[in-house]
Amino acid sequence: MKICVLGLGYVGAVSAACLAQEGHEVIGIDPEQTKVDIINAGRSPIIEQGIGEIIEEQVANGRLCATVNVAAAIPYSDMLILCVGTPSLPNGGLDTRYVQRACEQIGEVLRNQENAPIVVVRSTMLPGTMREVVIPTLEATSGRHAGADFGVCINPEFMREGTAVYDYYHPPKTVIGELGKSSGDILASLYADMPGPVIRTDIETAEMVKYADNAWHALKIGFANEIGNLCKGVDIDAHRLMDIFCQDTKLNISPNYLKPGFAFGGSCLPKDLRAMLHKAQTLDIALPILAAILPSNQAQIERGVRAVMDKGRRKVGILGFSFKPGTDDLRESPVVELTERLIGKGYDLRIYDRNVRLASVHGANRDYILNHIPHISRLMVSDIDEILAHAETIVIGNAEAEFRDIASRLDAHQNIVDLVRISDSRSVAGVYEGICW
Q: Which residues are catalytic?
A: 268
Q: Is 23 left (phi over 0), alpha (psi -120 to 50) or beta?
A: left
**Sheet containing 174-178: order of strands:** 64-67, 25-29, 2-6, 79-82, 118-121, 152-154, 174-178, 198-201
Q: Which of 365, 307, 291, 378 is nearest to 332 (CA)?
A: 365
A 10 A CB-CB count for 94 gives: 17
A 10 A CB-CB count for 58 gives: 24
User: Facing residues of 380 across strands?
Assistant: 351
DSSP string covering 373-436, please? Answer: -HHHHTTB-SSHHHHHHH-SEEEE-S--GGGTTGGGG--TT-EEEESS--SSPPPBTTTEEETT
- What CA–CA distance (Å, rounded) separates 309 from 302? 11
Using a 10 angstrom Cβ sphere, with 0-12 exposed, 13-18 middle and 19 or more buried, the burial of residue 341 is: middle
Using a 10 angstrom Cβ sphere, with 0-12 exposed, 13-18 middle and 19 or more buried, the burial of residue 223 is: middle
- What CA–CA distance (Å, rounded) separates 54 from 377? 70
Please, which residues have CB within 8 angstroms of residue 165's CB and are 6 or more apart in sequence? 14, 17, 18, 48, 49, 50, 51, 54
Using a 10 angstrom Cβ sphere, with 0-12 exposed, 13-18 middle and 19 or more buried, the burial of residue 193 is: exposed
User: Facing residues of 417 across strands?
Assistant: 395, 433
A 10 A CB-CB count for 318 gives: 29
Task: Please state at what angle helix 51-60 crosses helix 33-40, rounded to 10 degrees.
Answer: 70
Local structure of 237: helix, strand or coil: coil
Contact 96, 133 (CB under 8 A): yes
Torsion 306-307-309-310 (CA) sign:
positive
Please, which residues have CB within 8 angstroms of residue 266's CB and are 6 or more apart in sequence? 323, 324, 329, 331, 332, 333
- Cα 429 from chain centroid? 23
